[in-house]
A and B are shown apart, each in its own frame.
Chain A
Amino acid sequence: MPSARSSMLDRATPETKEQSSETTRPVEFRGAGFAPVNSRYAGWIALAIVLAVWQLAGSAGWVNSLFLPAPSAIAVAIYKLATSGALWQHLSWSIMRIASGWIIGTIAGVIVGFAIGLSTLARGVGITFVSALFPIPKIALLPLLILWLGIGEEPKIATIALGVFFSTAISVYSGVDAVPRNLIRMAQSFNVPFHAIVRRVIWPGALPSILAGFRITSSVALLLVVSAEMIGAQYGIGAFVLQAGNLMQTDQLLAGVVILSLFGLAVGKLINLLEARLLHWR
């Protein structure tokens, strides 16, 4: 009988392939696909190909340059806009309107979103209003806002703010709802005060959803500023694009579109940086 200290494990020697007398065959690999990987260069290469074909079509006269100017013509138009100072003049007006409307709409949306996420009363009232008013195209309210606020910057900024407000409020209260309840119960179990739970648990927990909301609202703001400027503005990228269209200056028109695209990309990059900085823990 083995002593208490001796091991009862029966250590068998590992089997080797040679011990098997039958012929072997490899197991067929079945795990390929369904794992797309981001390619660093594929997008740029595809863009370069599209631009090259477009340029070739324009230079060879396959398409009428009035309907679709070549990329080189658009680049020249952008260069002239930049050197004349018109680009900055139009862009600065648009940026001012976007920034004002976005900040006002975001602040209001964050406050209302948190109220809906944390208070039964605010939720009961708020969700009804937000659900009823969110689907309205905000640009349709511009004429009414002009009546209320007069002709000037206020109705355009208010239109952007309204568009930003609803999306922000929804993303904020969805984010608050998505904070794991066990984290809130944990904080309560340590008698952490309400304001500290909001600041240290709910705010960081809701931040991924809030930043995702910012990505949407920045696009909404861009969309609305162009629309509002097309309806009633002398300066701004939207006004510039409309004027160029009216004068059949399609190279200028597309220059405006490219600038809008670059502006949207820049905002997207900014939000990427914010996410990388604030959500590094994910």
Chain B
Amino acid sequence: MDLIADHISHRFGALDVLDDVFFTVRAGEVVAIVGPSGCGKSTLLQILGGLLRPGKGRAELCGAAPAGSLNPLTFVFQDFALLPWNTVEENVAFPLLHTSLSAGERRAVIDDALRRTGLSDFGAAYPKQLSGGMRQRVGIARALAVRPAILLMDEPLSALDSQTRELLMEDFVRLLADGSMGAAYVTHNLEEAVRLADRVVVLSRRPGRIREIVSIPMTRAERGAAGAREQLATLQGELWSLIRKEAIDAEREVQHA
């Protein structure tokens, strides 16, 4: 199933946020969306996920959702969005409560999602008892439980420390390895973009327009090798050169706002 951003524009009041953004997330593909602060990355993701109506254009799906998918477009949130009054297991079960799954099927799905995210021993814990990284794992387990076709990830690692970020990036690489899920991955971190994405959509500063779409010429498995680090660093540098001036202008704009 493909997800298409079809010439999306949006404004909040008098503020133009997005201007004619057009690209496609193909089935099984990971597309990173990067750009300066305030360029409308998260707004774009909300529009793609149906949480916000765009001013112009629209988000479209093309092709059938994979068999068994309960929520083809599934968010992973920056702040985890866990229900603090529910245990880990209840949080993972939350999106399944109103589906047609039987109790046995639901149990199996929850166990599988917890196992894939390394949370099998933490089902009875409450979010407040977990570290930031473990909380985000719960958010990922909850997303996996509904068997998404495309994950919509809104800076999923930005609230975490750098070591936890490294560990979770490895988890993402593993979860995305079989190509059964695609992802639109919003980030301000270019290292994450070059490590995880097949293509990187570079947005200009506000109003966000597509400045460039860059392909990463390596498989994700190849990127994990020690020899690939230099090439990834070069790619990261090239992306930064595309964004740097706009990031400086955007920062000054924010300071003067």
Could you say which of A8-16, A62-70, A162-170, A187-195 contacts chain B?
A187-195
Partner of B94, one of A185, A190, A193: A190
A120 on interface, CB distance cutoff 8 Å: no
Q: Interface on chain A toward B: helix, strand, loop, or mixed SS?
A: helix
B64 on interface, CB distance cutoff 8 Å: no
- Return chain B residues, CB-CB under 8 Å to A140: none
Complex alpha-carbon distance, A183 and B126, angstroms: 16
Near A by CB (< 8 A), chain B positions 144-180 give 146
| Most chain A CB inside 10 Å of its own CB: which residue of B50, B51, B81, B226 | B81
Complex alpha-carbon distance, A75 and B231, angstroms: 86
B118 on interface, CB distance cutoff 8 Å: no
A201 on interface, CB distance cutoff 8 Å: yes
B85, A281: Cβ atoms closer than 8 Å: yes
B66 on interface, CB distance cutoff 8 Å: no
B98, A182: Cβ atoms closer than 8 Å: no
Known: A4-B226, A182-B81. A189 touches B49 (CB 8 A): yes
| Most chain B CB inside 10 Å of its own CB: which residue of A4, A189, A204 | A189
A192, B51: Cβ atoms closer than 8 Å: no
A218 to chain B, nearest CB (A): 23
Complex alpha-carbon distance, A201 and B84, angstroms: 10
A269 on interface, CB distance cutoff 8 Å: no
Known: A281-B84, A281-B126. A186 touches B75 (CB 8 A): yes
- Return chain A residues, CB-CB under 8 Å to B71: 189-191
Complex alpha-carbon distance, A4 and B86, angstroms: 47
B97 on interface, CB distance cutoff 8 Å: yes
- Return chain A residues, CB-CB under 8 Å to B85: 204-205, 281
Closest to A184 in B: B81
Known: A182-B77, A196-B97, A281-B126. A188 touches B84 (CB 8 A): no
B79 on interface, CB distance cutoff 8 Å: yes
Near A by CB (< 8 A), chain B positions 61-99 give 71, 73-75, 77, 79, 81, 83-86, 94-95, 97-98
Complex alpha-carbon distance, A282 and B81, angstroms: 15
- Return chain B residues, CB-CB under 8 Å to A4: 226
B128, A190: Cβ atoms closer than 8 Å: no
A207 to chain B, nearest CB (A): 8
B1 to chain A, nearest CB (A): 16
| Most chain A CB inside 10 Å of its own CB: which residue of B50, B85, B94, B98 | B85
- Return chain A residues, CB-CB under 8 Å to B95: 190-192
9 closest A-B pairs (Cβ-Cβ)? A190-B95, A186-B81, A281-B85, A204-B85, A189-B75, A182-B81, A281-B84, A281-B126, A190-B71
A-side residues, CB < 8 A to B, are 4, 180, 182-183, 185-193, 196, 200-201, 204-205, 281-282
Instruction: Offer 15 A-B interface pairs, CB within 8 angstroms, sorted by A.
Output: A4-B226, A183-B83, A185-B51, A185-B81, A189-B49, A189-B51, A191-B71, A192-B95, A192-B97, A200-B83, A281-B85, A281-B86, A281-B128, A282-B84, A282-B128
Told that A193-B98, A200-B83 touch, could you supply 17 new A-B pairs with CB distance under 8 A? Answer: A4-B226, A182-B81, A183-B81, A183-B83, A186-B77, A189-B50, A189-B51, A189-B74, A190-B71, A190-B74, A192-B97, A192-B98, A196-B98, A200-B97, A281-B85, A281-B126, A282-B84
